[in-house]
Amino acid sequence: MKDWKERKQIILDLMKNEFYVPMKEKELAIMLQVAPESRAELKKALEELLEECKIQISKRGKYSLFDPKTAGLNTEKIFGTFISNSRGFGFVEVDGRQEDLFIPEDKVNGAYHLDLVEVVLLKKNNGKRQEAEVVKILERGTNTIVGTFQKSRNFGFVIPDNQKLAHDIFVPIERSKGAVDGHKVVVELISYGSDTKKPEGTVVEILGHINDPGVDILSIVKGFDLPMEYPVKVMNQAERTADTVSEADMVGRSDLRDLVMVTIDGEDAKDLDDAISLRKDGENYHLGVHIADVANYVQEGSAMDREALNRGTSVYLVDRVIPMLPHKLSNGICSLNAGVDRLALSCLMEINPKGEVVDYSIEETVICVNERMSYTSVKKILEEKDPEETLKYQSLVPMFSEMEELAEILRKKRRKRGSIDFDFPETKIILDAQGKPIEIKPYDRNVATKIIEDFMLIANETVAQHFYWLELPFVYRTHEFPDPEKIQKLASFIYNFGYHLKVNKEEVHPKEIQKLLGKVEGTAEEAMISRLALRSMKQAKYTIDCSGHFGLACDYYCHFTSPIRRYPDLQIHRIIKDWIRGRISSKKIQHYEEILPQVASQSSRYERRAEEAERETNKLKKVEYMEQHLGEIFTGVISSITQWGMYVELPNTVEGMIHVSKIPGDYFLYDEQAYEMVGRDFGIKYKLGQRVQVQVESTDRFLRSIDFILVEGESENE
């Protein structure tokens, strides 16, 4: 017979014939007159048709056309993203579904990690998670994999860094590009494997040896497919961008260069995209939030714009920043550097002593920042009353005092309406010149960081509300109500501690969560209950519908303040500028209605990718840091409890696990409802928020894990 890969249709045509009865492979070969030497080709064709879910095979090995009903399936078509698991099974994330679908190992049907798949539901199984079967692979989601090369005599394997991937990748020696044992490589998949065959690939890039400085982080960057180099067209466009603001650029703009304003950022920040100004007139405050007019330099549809959309966000890793825009813009003409003219979009607000915005305007402006301040300097002035720092910036000190005053008013107003403030410390990891972690500590959240946070929040709310009432297409930042089941679980748990959570019609108001956090503040159970409340929340995302922000307890919210590093901000700046200039036509509205859904969904997806990459680099450096402290004893807090053990977080934010087999006592039961472990024999209890002493037992860079063992001694609730 001819090439079976090209002529699978012959098999399908035979099976579609009304006289066809299910046959085994040998019977099909006889029916189709396949010569013995071509039987392997027939087998390959049948395997491909099975993988494509065009045919099915019975337990007795007989082939027939695929039929969802005889396969015991629900025929409802559902599409989603396949998430693999190292143990062979997987999950499918479906937009609009509260819970992922579980895909048993024998129902994966060739799907690979991140594939876009079509699934059908299986019969409900005793109230467990809904199961489904993959019936079609619509689009492959993984083309390249990053991992560690292991060489044998005539071939090699790549062990994937991604722990979700179930199989090593087979690499023929002629496709290994000269990789040796321990090389971190990027491998391109040429086959996704089968039940009997490993996936196969070609090494396309060698990143360096696993022990070379920087290779560990570079592997994570490549693993998350984060674009690093800019295309030539983008760099050429960046080079052509002006270095200074011309007179022509200022035409039609409000000139605010005489207004006293500052930027307040971290010492090492280079992309300064927001400046603030404040003056008091009677009782009212005149707050200006001035944002770099990036849209003036990045035209929609240009090579630079397409690249920015493709990146979605700047990515801040422990040892590097991968910017959304080239440095020529992000650190140059779009950075609000002190003492130079810059173009901005300004949200100018008049705020009364109650924290209410009584008047505002959104304008295209030209500004000149007076001083580039750091969080540390402002903290020294306002919190520490440092005489040297106060003298150095004496002309600005009265404005800083008024900023602190207004920020507290705005914060108080937000708290009153129910805004939730989870004050968990972020991680700051200090590296030496070789990329080795030398210190890990909580990120300092002080009066200065809070001022900027409060002023950016009120600007974002004001802009979002304005464009909501204009009924124009827009990109909002939304945060849905928590899942009722999780809230009920939280309510049941805190009841044991004497706390009450008011829930109406299966919904909770954010003020109730805020009240709860206020009540537990300073108590032994504060850390435990705060963590559980946070875990009951959903993830914020970008949408075209203004459905409100649960965590901030507000009806209107968007991201307006960081167009250098977030694409949604850049996108809404274009809409704002079109509105200011009177360019909102029906054609323009239609254009935005067509492109914004993709902008919102893609930006949300890439934001999650950036967060995961940041989390992985932090985990890696924490493991590397704790390698230097093996055998040492620390006091930490139980941050999570699972069937396989307990996680303990140290004051420096490092988290490690105590395996259930290492917990004193003969046997422990995991009580999911009470979030605790109970010793069956001795009545010993361990629960969330409890303070324990641990010893660092081992670390694993490959798994990015830290193992602790319990030490007798202090073990009371924090």
**What's the pLDDT at 62?**
86
Residue pLDDT, tens place only, 45-65: 888 787 777 788 887 788 888
Asked if residue 253 and residue 195 are part of one domain, the reply reads no
**What's the pLDDT at 467?**
97
Q: Could you tell me the two tokens for 190? A: 């040429």
Report the distance separating Cα 39 and Cα 29, nearest Å: 7
Element (H, E) at 552: none
Q: Tell me if 687 is assigned to some domain.
A: yes
Q: Tell me if 489 is assigned to some domain.
A: no
Residue in the structure block whose two tokens are 């008091």: 280
Q: Which domain holds residue 596?
A: 232-476+552-615
Q: Tell me if 511 is assigned to some domain.
A: no
Phi/psi at 681 (5° precision): -90, -35
Nearest residue to 93 via CA among 142, 130, 144, 145: 130
Asked if residue 373 and residue 257 are part of one domain, the reply reads yes
Asked if residue 294 and residue 182 are part of one domain, the reply reads no
Report the distance separating Cα 62 and Cα 55, nearest Å: 10
Residues in the chain where the model's pLDDT stays below 70 = 1-7, 68-76, 96, 124-128, 423-425, 505-506, 524, 527, 665-675, 677-684, 713-718
Asked if residue 673 and residue 583 are part of one domain, the reply reads no
Q: How many CB atoms lie within 10 A of CB 522?
A: 7
Asked if residue 421 and residue 276 are part of one domain, the reply reads yes
**What's the pLDDT at 668?**
64
CB 468 within 8 A of CB 399: no
Phi/psi at 149 (5° precision): -85, 135
Sequence-distant (6+) residues with CB within 8 A of 674 are 493, 496, 687
**What's the pLDDT at 715?**
43
Nearest residue to 143 via CA among 123, 117, 169: 169
CA distances for 597 relative to 81, 478, 544, 561, angstroms: 18, 14, 6, 20
Q: Could you tell me the two tokens for 401? A: 């005092």
Residue 84 belongs to a domain with what CATH number?
A: 2.40.50.140
Residue in the structure block whose two tokens are 């193992």: 707
**Listed residues 564, 592, 615: the one ending a domain:** 615
Domain count for the chain, please give it: 5
Q: How many CB atoms lie within 10 A of CB 241?
A: 16
Asked if residue 238 and residue 180 are part of one domain, the reply reads no
Asked if residue 364 and residue 238 are part of one domain, the reply reads yes
Q: Tell me if 281 is assigned to some domain.
A: yes
Q: How many CB atoms lie within 10 A of CB 593?
A: 12
**What's the pLDDT at 31?**
81
Q: How many residues does the chain have?
A: 718
**What's the pLDDT at 718?**
36
Report the distance separating Cα 273 and Cα 564, nearest Å: 6
Asked if residue 281 and residue 373 are part of one domain, the reply reads yes
Asked if residue 151 and residue 30 are part of one domain, the reply reads no
**What's the pLDDT at 380?**
96
Nearest residue to 145 via CA among 172, 130, 163, 122: 163
Q: Could you tell me the two tokens for 39? A: 């039987």
CA distances for 692 relative to 622, 663, 687, angstroms: 20, 12, 10
Asked if residue 299 and residue 179 are part of one domain, the reply reads no
Asked if residue 339 and residue 205 are part of one domain, the reply reads no
Residue 198 belongs to a domain with what CATH number?
A: 2.40.50.700
**Listed residues 570, 591, 615: the one ending a domain:** 615
**What's the pLDDT at 146?**
94
**What's the pLDDT at 485?**
78
**What's the pLDDT at 667?**
59
Q: Could you tell me the two tokens for 440? A: 């890990």
Report the distance separating Cα 66 and Cα 81, nearest Å: 22
